[in-house]
């Protein structure tokens, strides 16, 4: 009877070892397959982010070109008006000009240029930390992007990278 139990035990051990080897191979295939899939997802997200940035840059260039044309048109318009108006024989100093210059000097004295406030790591909280905090609070990536003045894709990528690590 003992011989039967020993043989049965050896057969069970062999089956268990074969099963462990099978599971190990399957796990290693899945883990390598997931890394390839994750790489593809990252490449897709980065390529979409790059194309989105290119589109934004093209829109910005178009806006700048249009503004440049408008500025050139505005500069040429006053020149043509000045040349077309006849020059009077006697010079008369406009009274309103003095009033506007007085107003301009008052405005110049009270002028405070707008200062740009940079809220970076100087405050101690980076945009990445703010994004994670807002995401953990339950805000969507679009809302986070609007609050932080960042791109939606940039926030999505950052959150995805943080969730992976």
pLDDT at 142 over 70: yes
**Mean pLDDT of all residues belonging to the chain:** 78
Q: Which residues contact 156 (CB under 8 A, 6 or more apart)?
A: 45, 141
pLDDT in tens, 101-139: 666 666 666 666 666 655 544 455 788 888 888 989 998
Three-state DSSP state, 1: coil
Other C-beta atoms lying within 10 Å of the C-beta of residue 141: 21
pLDDT value for 131:
87
Distance (Å, rounded) from C-alpha 38 to C-alpha 44?
10
Q: Model pTM? A: 0.29
Overall average pLDDT of the 88-102 stretch: 58
């Amino acid at each position: 009877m003992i011989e039967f139990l020993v043989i049965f035990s050896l057969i069970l051990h062999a089956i268990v070892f074969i099963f462990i080897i099978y599971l190990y191979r399957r796990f290693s295939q899945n883990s390598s397959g997931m890394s390839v899939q994750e790489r593809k997802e990252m490449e897709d997200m980065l390529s979409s982010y790059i194309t989105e940035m290119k589109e934004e840059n093209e829109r910005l260039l178009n806006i700048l070109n249009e503004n440049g044309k408008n500025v050139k048109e505005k500069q040429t318009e006053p020149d043509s008006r000045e040349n077309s108006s006849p020059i009077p024989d006697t010079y008369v100093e406009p009274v309103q000009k003095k009033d506007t210059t007085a107003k301009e000097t008052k405005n110049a004295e009270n002028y405070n240029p707008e200062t740009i406030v940079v809220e970076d790591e100087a405050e101690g909280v980076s945009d990445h930390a703010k994004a994670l905090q807002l995401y953990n609070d339950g805000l969507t990536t679009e809302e986070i992007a609007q609050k932080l003045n960042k791109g939606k894709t940039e926030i999505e990528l950052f959150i995805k990278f943080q969730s992976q690590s």
